[in-house]
Structure 1
Amino acid sequence: MSETPKPSVSYNDSLKMVHNPDGSVTRLTLFPITSASPNPDQYTTHTSPFLSKDITINTQKNIWVRVFLPRQALENNATTSKLPLIVYFHGGGFITCSANTSVFHDLCAGMATDLSAVVVSLEYRLAPEYRLPAAYDDAEEALHWIKSTDEPWVMKYADTSCCFLMGSSAGGNMAYFAGVRVAGAVEEFKPLRIKGLIMHHPFFGGMKRSGSEVRSENDTILSLSATDLMWELALPEGADRDHEYSNPMVEKGAEQCEKIGRLGWKVLVTGCEGDLLLDRQKEWVEMAKKKGVAI
């Protein structure tokens, strides 16, 4: 398909944001948020099968994590072995949302409860105030924190040798690029050991339009012009959507994928019909298979 020029769109109309003269944005959409609930006595076991608490890992950057722990781990700590660890990255096109956004809080709480896992959800820096690779840097810092922290909920209950990186949308993109960084320096992250990646509707892009992008160009939930603007705000200054952060199918991005293939990690990619990103996700899967990744 032919390349389509970058559209001229309004920050406010497309993303409900006001573009400020200093390059920052004022986010007008206020997503529902949920507070952490770290006190075991705050709720009954019946109404709250999990606990959660927020822990700052870098005060200067305002990076923190929300840790989710199944209540059962506390009640049976003498007999229960350590639990698998899921490190989760929230969605929002790299420019919105938070680890405390209710939809992502609820997802992580459900995983902790239903899968009997410790879930660590990262609050990372957002673009355009902090363009990529800032979010990837924050993910890497969080993984270093996990491997060495004395935080009891991680140290006592999480099996860091059985860790999965997971993310939704932009977070799915982050799970991949965080994985690429770990794959290139496995010894540096020990005893943390990644077993696989879970990429939930990962956010990828490119200059040449895909079929699903054309079919869903005017999607009422997230239009194509809005995704273009997200990439414009998130990518390094001067980069277009064929930068490897957006389009990991380009030559440099494909070379990075080989690192994951050599380690034998399992990778799960989910998508759905009607999502304008679907064909990008399929393209990534086909590329990854060719690079030896276990899909």
Structure 2
Amino acid sequence: MANLADSQTAPSSDPIVVVDPYKHMEITVNPDGSLTRNPNRFPNTSATPDPDQPNPVLSKDVTFNQSNNTWARIFLPREALGASSGVNKLPLIVYYHAGGFIHCSAATTGFHLFCSKMALELQAIVVSVEYRLAPEHRLPAAYEDAMEALHWIRTTQEEWLKQHADFGNCFLMGSSSGGNIAFNAGLRAAGEVDDLEPLKIQGLILHQPFFGGSQKVESELRVVNDPILVPGVSDVLWELSLPIGSDRDHEYCNPTATKESKLLEKLVSVGWKVLVTGCDGDPLIDRQVGVVKLMEEKGVKVKSHFREGDHHGVDFTQPAKAKALFLVLKEFI
């Protein structure tokens, strides 16, 4: 691996504190290429399916591929239980969690709380997908799991979805690496519209999506104090996630490096709208703006909402920021 510190030379004179990205993420790469992760770094929360408990949002876990150990956590606003079956069905948000492709779960406490609040604020059903992690399962494994979840949703007899979800009003959403998954799964789904019936996807929501590239962009050099993406972390995440032998201009990482891509044209032809959200305190902001510009050039119906300040992942730690985000999502949906 190249010396990560060498690629982190900022244009300003401010000294950069070089952090060991492996130590920062509490991971060790094993000789067989797998990771040892600190099991206590990201606590989990159990689902809350019992309607007799006073939770405003109920949740339950349903397996969709036992051999891959992939499953989904479904979030249902309690009020929906009182509605007659088929009456006032709720929008369906299929959500892919963050974690740099290598960490976390649909059960991770931060994402459980985020999805629960989102279901309540938007009055929507949220299906949070448990996908396989890299480097044990490198990309495109997560994209394949994302697609498999969609096919499971369209055929499932699962009661909450069948009775309360509006399959004609579905959005794919992800945060950070999950935003990358929502984007790449969305490109695939755009080519399988007929096969996904009766599921009708209306758009994609890319929340602080994780993109990269071989050459550093200005924001990656300027924003060196982000608490999540300290210098070097993104490099390691891509090295552990991309197919072996790929550089960071691979289309999974850097859509703007392959501008002739036919996949975006499919996104145009199906007429889906795309929302990209972020903030200028995130080192990835220039990447996100670049992908927005690319979609605009291709004729995709894209909207962006970028705030000043903040940092990567801020909406998971500050409830007021999450609430502001949900207002933007509500308007979009």
Fold shared by both chains (TM-score > 0.5): yes
Change (3 A) 1:235 1:145: same
Matched, 1:232 2:239: yes
Q: Who is 2:42 aligned against?
A: 31
CA offset digits 1:182-229 (Å, max 9, x no partner) = 101111111111000000000000011111001024534322311100
- Residue 228 of structure 1: SS of its match in structure 2? helix
What is the rounded CA distance, in whole Å, between the counterparts of 2:148 and 2:227 in structure 1?
A: 36
Structure 1 length normalisation: TM-score? 0.93
What's the CA shift for 1:6?
A: 5.8
Higher alpha-carbon deviation: 270-279 or 27-36? 27-36
- Residue 232 of structure 2: SS of its match in structure 1? helix
Q: Which amino acid aligns with 1:38?
A: P
- Residue 224 of structure 1: SS of its match in structure 2? coil
What is the rounded CA distance, in whole Å, between the counterparts of 2:184 and 2:3 in structure 1?
A: 25
Q: CA RMSD in A?
A: 1.6
CA offset digits 1:31-71 (Å, max 9, x no partner) = 12111000101x22xxx211000001111000000000011
Q: Who is 2:262 aligned against?
A: 255
What's the CA shift for 1:7?
A: 1.9
Contact 2:91 2:169 in 1 (8 A): yes
- Residue 59 of structure 2: SS of its match in structure 1? strand
Matched, 1:20 2:30: yes
Q: Which amino acid aligns with 1:158?
A: A
Contact 1:128 1:234 in 2 (8 A): yes
Match for residue 137 of structure 2 among 126, 130, 141: 130
Contact 2:21 2:230 in 1 (8 A): no
CA offset digits 1:135-193 (Å, max 9, x no partner) = 00000100000000000111111111110000000000011111111101111111111
What is the rounded CA distance, in whole Å, between the counterparts of 1:163 and 1:251 in structure 2?
A: 28
Contact 1:206 1:242 in 2 (8 A): yes
Q: Equivalent pairs: percent with the same residue?
A: 55
Q: Who is 2:75 aligned against?
A: 68
Where in structure 1 are there 5+ consecutive unaligned residues?
A: none
- Residue 227 of structure 1: SS of its match in structure 2? helix
Contact 2:97 2:174 in 1 (8 A): yes
What is the rounded CA distance, in whole Å, between the counterparts of 2:22 and 2:212 in structure 1?
A: 22
- Residue 271 of structure 1: SS of its match in structure 2? strand
What's the CA shift for 1:76?
A: 2.1
Q: Which amino acid aligns with 1:177?
A: N
Q: Which amino acid aligns with 1:39?
A: D
Structure 2 length normalisation: TM-score? 0.83
Change (3 A) 1:76 1:230: same
Contact 1:217 1:225 in 2 (8 A): no
Matched, 1:51 2:58: yes
- Residue 46 of structure 2: SS of its match in structure 1? coil
Q: Which amino acid aligns with 1:25?
A: L
Match for residue 219 of structure 1 among 226, 237, 260: 226
What's the CA shift for 1:15?
A: 2.0
**What pairs with 1:75-224 in structure 2 (closer than 5 Å)?**
75-77=82-84, 80-217=87-224, 219-224=226-231
What is the rounded CA distance, in whole Å, between the counterparts of 1:253 and 1:121 in structure 2?
A: 32
Higher alpha-carbon deviation: 71-80 or 203-212? 71-80
What is the rounded CA distance, in whole Å, between the counterparts of 1:246 and 1:253 in structure 2?
A: 15
What is the rounded CA distance, in whole Å, between the counterparts of 1:32 and 1:109 in structure 2?
A: 16
Change (3 A) 1:249 1:132: same
Where in structure 2 are there 5+ consecutive unaligned residues?
A: 6-18, 303-333
What is the rounded CA distance, in whole Å, between the counterparts of 1:193 and 1:16 in structure 2?
A: 40
Q: Who is 1:7 aligned against?
A: 4
What is the rounded CA distance, in whole Å, between the counterparts of 1:135 and 1:261 in structure 2?
A: 24
Give the number of aligned pairs.
287
CA offset digits 1:230-264 (Å, max 9, x no partner) = 00000000001000000011226743222112221
Match for residue 283 of structure 2 among 231, 254, 276: 276
Change (3 A) 1:213 1:11: closer
Q: Which amino acid aligns with 1:76?
A: A
Contact 2:85 2:164 in 1 (8 A): no
What's the CA shift for 1:21?
A: 1.2
